[in-house]
């Protein structure tokens, strides 16, 4: 899973935290700092319908700034791949 996360990171995103204790809904947490809103949106989109993931959510409040956005993102693992 760590390699799959790293493959989706773009140069404008620094990952500083990954919590892999998968929740009942098949999600885990990724946190860090994005240079711009667009960098963060690109990173989030990389998890949408992309095996072994099924999407990601970022709180809207994260997008209050244009640059240097600290973020946390819930990433959802596709059913049957969280083990």
Grade residue 78 by pLDDT with cuts at 50, 70 and 90: confident
CA distance 16 to 14: 6
CA 32 to chain centre: 9
- Asked if residue 83 has pLDDT above 60, the reply is no
pLDDT value of residue 81: 47
Predicted model pTM: 0.85
pLDDT tens-digit series, residues 4-59: 999 999 999 999 999 987 667 788 999 999 999 999 999 999 998 788 999 999 99
């Amino acid at each position: 899973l760590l390699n799959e996360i790293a493959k989706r990171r773009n140069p404008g995103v620094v990952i500083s935290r990954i919590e892999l204790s998968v929740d009942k809904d098949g999600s885990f947490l990724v946190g860090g700092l994005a240079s711009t809103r667009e960098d963060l949106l690109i990173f989030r989109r990389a998890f949408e319908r992309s095996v072994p993931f099924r999407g990601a959510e970022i709180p809207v409040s994260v997008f209050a700034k244009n640059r240097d956005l600290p973020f946390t993102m819930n990433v959802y693992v596709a059913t049957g791949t969280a083990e």
